[in-house]
């Protein structure tokens, strides 16, 4: 019997059983599941070769981290108002930024026609914090209290000055859609330590007028098999869409349905070698297991009041940044490999004096609580936490100083902080000029951050590759160096 005949016979014999599941073709893209002609990545490139389900069977280095939590402050935090203290801005408030400093650096179209560029002093006083003496604004008192646990990179730099391409570059290594995100690369390379939860989970929260949505390609799988993409967790009773059974379908019926589709898929894969067939089946299997595991993670009723209080009052409201930070800790406890927390609130072009302090208030306590909570549970030592934006903001004003000024996008320099996962605590890396406008020492490009992230997980960024369209791709493309100076 030919494979084609076998497929037809199996489909005919099981059609009635399939329809009896009550799920129907409307809730399952079966045509998509059973079609295609691309080669399966596991056969072509050794995917799923390790015991964890990743392609990296033997780690390239001894890892210092098992998992990553990446807090993306979407919209661009102003480094001059948070971590990059510059007394010169206070002395020269209202004066023009020197042309020799501004130079011909790239600016956004929002100030391209602006003829005056007055310097703006920090929105709040700075103080040196802890034994490390790190400068942190009074806008961030909780982060200031954990300064000795943090590693500050003051010299981050990017080539992009608009949110969407800069965010894509930060997460995928390319400014256009279509490349895998760093979480997808990590999932592809290392697989999962928890078979009942996704290896890569994404949270998003919105706040205030400076809220922008992040393109889903920032957590997509690109040309990698789709099973490695991030799984968004929503607020409310159903954190993952379509996870619960439809009316009239019980768990046994769902299990039988998946088993039947699995049989069909195996036959079709034997004929087409389409890499998305096993990938889709693995996602159906994961969804079945998540029917139990996800509600358990999302239910915080077992958290004591002193822990909830540590994250702040917003933690009791689903969908807030505070709640997402707490859920990230719960996922880290369960060995989820990569957790992305996107907070869309920081796009403060005007009225920054009002909006930036509000954004700091919303994010400061939960961010610090997450680090503290991980530390007190012994998880920080092998969890790499990253906090930062796609770029920074200018030290000069966008608009008129007397009319609700803002700060424009600025890619030449900005600040990230890291904690745990084998990075130096109480350490500051890199320097900027007196105007926080240009890097003067130890620049760190986005590709360098990505290479360092992979290094903490035991991966050589040059060796984690995937062949697509005739060439080998990697997260760092043809760039990137490990920032060894920040590693403990």
Once rounded to an integer, what is the mean pLDDT over residues 195-208? 89
CB 152 within 8 A of CB 415: yes
Tens-digit pLDDT profile for residues 443-468: 999 999 999 999 999 999 999 999 99
Non-local CB neighbours of 369 within 8 Å, separated by 6+ positions: 142, 310, 311, 312, 322, 325, 326
| pLDDT in the model for residue 133 | 98
Looking only at the bridges linking them, the beta strands covering 338-344 and 406-410 are unpaired
The most confident of 14-18, 21-25, 84-88, by mean pLDDT: 84-88
Confidence of residue 34 (pLDDT cuts 50, 70, 90): very low
Between CA 82 and CA 87, with CA 83 as vertex, the angle to 5 degrees is 95
Non-local CB neighbours of 185 within 8 Å, separated by 6+ positions: 224, 228, 454, 464, 474, 475
| pLDDT in the model for residue 30 | 37
Share of the chain above pLDDT 70, in %: 85
Give the SS3 label for residue 318.
Answer: coil
Position with higher pLDDT, 132 vs 285: 132
Confidence of residue 256 (pLDDT cuts 50, 70, 90): confident
Tens-digit pLDDT profile for residues 53-94: 789 989 999 999 999 999 999 999 999 999 999 999 999 999
Lowest-confidence region among 12-21, 234-243, 297-306, 434-443: 12-21
Distance CA 196, CA 183 (A): 18
Task: For 164-183, give the DSSP string.
Answer: HHHHHHHHHSSSSTTSPPHH
Lowest-confidence region among 101-110, 190-199, 285-294, 418-427: 285-294
Confidence of residue 208 (pLDDT cuts 50, 70, 90): low
Distance CA 149, CA 139 (A): 18
Domains of the chain, by residue range, sit at: 64-241+305-486
| pLDDT in the model for residue 125 | 98
| pLDDT in the model for residue 81 | 98
Q: Which of 224, 219, 222, 227 is nearest to 280 (CA)?
A: 227
Lowest-confidence region among 42-51, 374-383, 460-469: 42-51
Classify domain 64-241+305-486 at the CATH superfamily level: Alkaline Phosphatase, subunit A (3.40.720.10)
Tens-digit pLDDT profile for residues 152-193: 999 999 999 999 999 999 999 999 999 999 999 999 999 999
Position with higher pLDDT, 54 vs 31: 54
The pTM score is 0.86
């Amino acid at each position: 019997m030919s494979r084609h005949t076998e497929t037809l016979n199996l489909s005919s014999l099981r059609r009635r059983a399939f329809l009896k599941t009550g799920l129907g073709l409307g809730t399952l893209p079966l045509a998509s599941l059973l079609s295609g002609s691309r080669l399966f990545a596991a056969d072509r490139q050794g995917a799923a070769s390790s015991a964890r389900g990743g392609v990296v069977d033997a780690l390239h280095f001894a890892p210092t981290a098992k998992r990553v939590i990446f807090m993306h402050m979407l919209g661009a935090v102003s480094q001059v108002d948070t971590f990059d203290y510059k007394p010169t801005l206070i002395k020269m408030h209202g004066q023009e930024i020197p042309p020799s400093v501004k130079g011909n650096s790239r600016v956004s179209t929002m100030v391209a026609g602006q003829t005056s560029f007055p310097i703006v002093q920090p929105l709040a006083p700075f103080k040196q914090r802890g034994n490390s003496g790190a400068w942190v604004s009074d806008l961030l008192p909780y982060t200031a209290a954990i300064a000795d646990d943090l590693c500050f990179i003051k010299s981050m730099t990017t080539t992009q000055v608009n949110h969407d391409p800069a965010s894509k570059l930060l997460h995928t290594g390319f400014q256009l859609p279509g490349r895998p995100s760093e979480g997808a690369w990590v999932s592809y390379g290392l697989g999962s330590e928890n078979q009942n939860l996704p290896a890569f989970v994404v949270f998003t929260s919105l706040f205030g007028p400076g809220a922008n949505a992040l393109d889903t390609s920032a957590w997509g799988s690109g040309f990698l098999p789709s099973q490695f993409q991030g799984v968004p967790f929503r607020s409310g009773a159903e954190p993952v869409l379509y996870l619960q059974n439809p009316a009239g379908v019980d768990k046994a019926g769902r299990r039988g349905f998946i088993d039947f589709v699995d049989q069909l898929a195996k036959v079709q894969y034997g004929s087409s070698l389409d890499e998305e067939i096993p990938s889709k089946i693995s996602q159906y299997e994961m969804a079945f297991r998540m029917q139990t595991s996800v509600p358990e993670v999302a239910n915080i009723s077992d958290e004591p009041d002193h822990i909830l209080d540590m994250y702040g009052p917003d933690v009791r409201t689903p969908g807030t940044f505070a709640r997402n930070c707490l859920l990230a800790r719960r996922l880290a406890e369960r060995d989820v490999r990569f957790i992305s927390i996107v907070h869309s609130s920081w796009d403060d072009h005007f009225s920054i004096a009002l909006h930036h302090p509000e954004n700091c208030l919303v994010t400061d306590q939960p961010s610090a609580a997450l680090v503290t909570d991980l530390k007190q549970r012994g998880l920080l030592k092998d969890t790499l936490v990253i906090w930062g934006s796609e770029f920074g903001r200018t030290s000069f004003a966008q608009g008129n100083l007397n009319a609700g000024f803002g700060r424009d996008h600025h890619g030449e320099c900005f600040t990230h902080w890291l904690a745990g996962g084998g990075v130096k605590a109480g350490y500051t890396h890199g320097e900027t000029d007196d105007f926080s406008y240009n890097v003067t020492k130890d620049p760190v490009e986005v590709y360098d951050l990505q290479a360092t992230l992979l290094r903490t997980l035991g991966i050589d960024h040059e060796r984690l590759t995937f062949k697509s369209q005739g060439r080998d791709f990697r997260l760092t493309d043809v760039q990137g160096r490990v920032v060894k100076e920040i590693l403990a």
